[in-house]
Structures are given as structure tokens and as C-alpha cells.
Amino acid sequence: MSLRTARTLPLLLAGILLAAGAHASEAEHVHASQAWIRILPGDLPAGGYVTLENTGDQPTSLRAAHSPSYASIGLHKSSADGGTSRMAMVDSVAIPAHGKAELTPGGYHLMLMKAAAPVKPGDKVKLTLTFGDGSTLDTDFLARPANATDAGDAMPGMEHGH
Amino acid sequence: MKLCRIRRVALLSLLALAALLQAGCHREDAIPWLLTDVTGHMPDLDFRLVDDHGKAVTGQDYRGKVVLLYFGYTHCPDVCPLTLAQLHVVMQRLGPLADGARILFVSVDPARDTPEVMHAYVNAFDPRAVGLSGAPRDIEELSKRYRSAFTREPDQGNGQYEVSHSSAIYIFDRDGKARLLSTPDRSQDDLVHDLHLLLSLGASA
């Protein structure tokens, strides 16, 4: 065994271990449902909602969301203290072990800004959700009209692996 | 169609008359409101703003209609659309009675909310919704009139900013008198119940 191989072998092993670790990623234990976006006229920011269920034994958190369809997606929380509606950015939304996080109107939500192309009700928009360990889950969000109050009867949120 | 309408108006008038008579018997303060009764505690509907067709309007222009006044702004992606979507459901549940009501959505962000933006916005929710904007001073005057504060939050560095605003819905009768106050925690059933009553009362004048 050359010195070179001796050096690279541990790296290789580490790589394999990392890959194995990534296999048991947080995203793997998260199931998305009720994924929808409220489409507003013009270029107004849209609200995104989803229910994230964690079937794993470890808590996780939603850290970020990205999509080629929007220039930026923020994680926000609405609150109504003392009769005043406020909106604040948050770093993450906790998803407890064997529990769920519900992003629904009036609470936690995604704020999708600057659509790359106009999104119409009925469209499916693919979002990549990023969790605490950096693992990701692609989820189709259903675009719904402005006056929708929930995900409607369509789509339990389609997932496409990691 | 026209005959149908006349019949409906006649029927509604009868209903209103019946409600008035009943109100007369039991006195109005005995109306079993579910929302917060603010009758006599808040000023009449009065403002000078611009509607979503770009037309100058005042509170007087909405006399004869039951008015649901709500402050918000179009760049609000969550709570404002939720409130307007819920009001749309309430209007649908009221059926033809809802034609006697108007949702007045007043922008607390007139810099971005032009009549054109407001027009597209309110019509995405309900045909009986009107978007009102105007001079910042006039909007502030209206919001102060109903003790409804709003604050523009700091710019996020990309020209985007949020506006904190009152989440209440102020409800006026056909005479422009403030009657009820609803908050987001109230159920749609409560709103439907009270609006049904209020719309059946008709105008006293």
C-alpha cells in the first residue's frame, strides 16, 4: 500500500460513512401533506402552507425552502397580539419526534417572493424543503386562488425523494 | 330576471319590515348579537379616500349598505388574505342578502397600494369587496377614528417591508352607525349570524 493510498483510504471510509449517515437523514422521516400556495394578483408575495409530519425518533426542524419558481422564499410567523397583526421572520420551525408542524394561514408560513413566471391556480410548484441536518425534501405545492382557505380536496402533497 | 329582482327586493323589504317590527317590540338593545356590540361607542363611518376605480369616495357613498371595514395591505401574504378569504366565505353563506353588504379593505400602505393594485386584489376575493387607498393623512385619520393603529416596520434592506396593523373588522349598519366589532378569533358562524340580523334590519332613515 502506497503512502498515497494510506492517506486516501480513511477519507474514502469517511465518505462512505457520511453517505450512510445521509441515508438516515432527517428528511427521510418527514412526510409533507396539505401543501398549497395562495396566489395573489400581480407580483404580490404569496403565502405557502404545508403540514410536516416527523415519523423519526429525533426532532428535526424546517430551516429553509427554495424553488426555481420564486426568487426568494422566507420562513415567517404571523401573530395577533392585542388585536394587532404582525409578521416576523423565523429561523426555523420545529418538528418534534413523532409529531408534526403545521404551517397554516395565520401562523407559520412560507413567504414566496417574485415568481419567475406567473403562477396560476391549479399549477403545481415544486419546493425544496431543507431540514436541520441539511437534508432536503422536494414537495409539490398546489397553487390555489386568493380566496381559498385551505389546501382544498386535491393533493396530499407529492414527494419526490431527497 | 328583472321581475325576479323586484320580487326579491319586495321580499327582502318585507323581511326587513318584519325585523324592524320585531325590533320595535323587543327594543333594539335586546338583539342577541354574538360579536362585540359597539353601538354608541364608536363614531359613524366617515372618510375621504379613493376607491379601486380611482374615484374619490366618502363614507356617505356607502350609506344603505352594511359595511365591513378592515385595515390591511396587499403585500401582506398571510393574515390579510386569510381574513378576506374568510369574509368571502361569510358573504357566500349569506346568499343574496350579501348584496346589501360591502367589504371595505383600507390600505395602510398607500405607497405601494395604488387603485390598480387594489382593484385586482379585492376582486380576487369577493365581488362585494372595495379597495380603498388615498393620502397617508386621510388613511391615518380614518384609522385613528377607530383607534386602529398601524406601524410600518423597518425595511428589510431589499425595499421590502411589513406593516403591523389592527386585525379587527368594524361593522357598520346601513345608516353608517358603528354596531359590531369582530376579531380573527371569532367564528364564521358568529359573523354570519350577526350580519344576517344586521342586514335584516334595513336602514332607519
Q: Identify the CA nearest to B133 among candidates B158, B104, B155, B94.
A: B104
Nearest to A146 among B72, B125, B183 (CB): B125
* β-pair type (A84-89, B150-152): unpaired
CA separation, residue B142 to residues B43, B78, B151, B162 (Å) = 10, 24, 14, 20
Question: Distance between CA atoms of A159 and A27, rounded to whole angstroms?
Answer: 11
B31, B60, B74 from B170: Cα distances, Å:
18, 16, 19
Cβ within 8 Å, pair A111-B77 = yes
pLDDT at site A161: 45
ipTM given for this complex: 0.77
- The count of other CB atoms within 10 Å of the CB of residue B101 is 23
B-chain residues within 8 Å CB-CB of A147? 81, 84-85, 88-89, 124-126
Q: Which residues of B touch A86 (CB under 8 A)?
A: 162, 164
Minimum CA–CA partner of A108 in chain B? B78
What are the sequence ranges of the domains in chain A? 24-152
State yes or no: pLDDT of A138 exceeds 80: yes
The per-residue pLDDT for range B42-63, each reduced to its tens digit, is 899 999 999 999 999 999 999 9
Non-local (6+) Cβ contacts of B143 within 8 A are: B71, B106, B108, B149, B150, B166
B129-132/B101-107 β-pairing: parallel
Q: Which residues are CB-contacts of A39 (< 8 A; sequence separation ≥ 6)?
A: A46, A119, A120, A121, A143, A144, A145, A146
Query: Which residue, among A27, A35, A52, has the nearest Cα to A124 in the 3D structure?
Result: A35
Identify from A38, A50, A85, A150 which residue to disrupt to test chain B contact, counting B C-beta atoms within 10 A and taking the largest count.
A85
Percentage of chain A modeled with pLDDT above 90: 67
Asked whether the CA dihedral A31, A34, A40, A46 is positive or negative, the reply is: negative
Residue of A nearest to B125 (CA): A147
Residue of B nearest to A84 (CA): B166
The reported pTM is 0.80
What pLDDT does A162 receive? 47
Please tell me which of the candidates B82, B124, B167 has its beta carbon nearest to residue A145: B124
Q: Name the band, by pLDDT with cuts 50, 70 and 90, for residue B189.
A: very high
* Long-range Cβ pairs for the range A118-126 (8 Å, 24+): A119/A37, A119/A39, A119/A46, A119/A69, A119/A143, A120/A39, A121/A39, A121/A145, A121/A148, A124/A155, A124/A158, A125/A37, A125/A67, A125/A69, A125/A70, A126/A67, A126/A68, A126/A69, A126/A160
Q: What percent of chain B has pLDDT over 90?
A: 63
Q: Inter-chain contact A83–B85, Cβ cutoff 8 Å?
A: no
B3-152+161-200: which CATH number, 3.30.70.260, 3.40.50.300, 3.40.30.10, 3.40.1190.10?
A: 3.40.30.10
Instruction: Give me the pLDDT at residue B70, please.
Output: 93
Query: Mean pLDDT in chain A?
Result: 85
What's the CATH superfamily of A24-152? PCu(A)C copper chaperone (2.60.40.1890)
pLDDT in tens, B66-86: 999 999 999 988 999 999 999
CB spacing of A105 vs B184 below 8 angstroms: no
CA distance A89 to B178: 35
Please indicate whether, in this complex, the C-beta atoms of A148 and B85 are within 8 angstroms of each other.
yes
CB contact under 8 A, B75 and A109: no
Answer whether B78 sits within 8 Å of A44, measured CB to CB: no
- Rounded distance, CA A110 to CA A51, Å? 12
Instruction: Find the CB nearest B81 among A38, A84, A86.
Output: A38
For residues A116 and A118, what is the distance between their CA atoms, to the nearest angstrom? 7
Residue B115's CB is within 10 A of a number of other CB atoms, namely 18
The alpha-carbon gap from A139 to the nearest alpha carbon of chain B, in Å, equals 20
Q: Chain B residue with minimal CA distance to A109? A: B78
- pLDDT, one tens digit per residue, over A30-83 is 999 999 999 999 999 999 999 999 999 999 999 999 999 999 999 999 887 767
CA B28 to chain centre: 22
Average pLDDT on B165-169 reads 83
| 3-state secondary structure at position A135 | coil
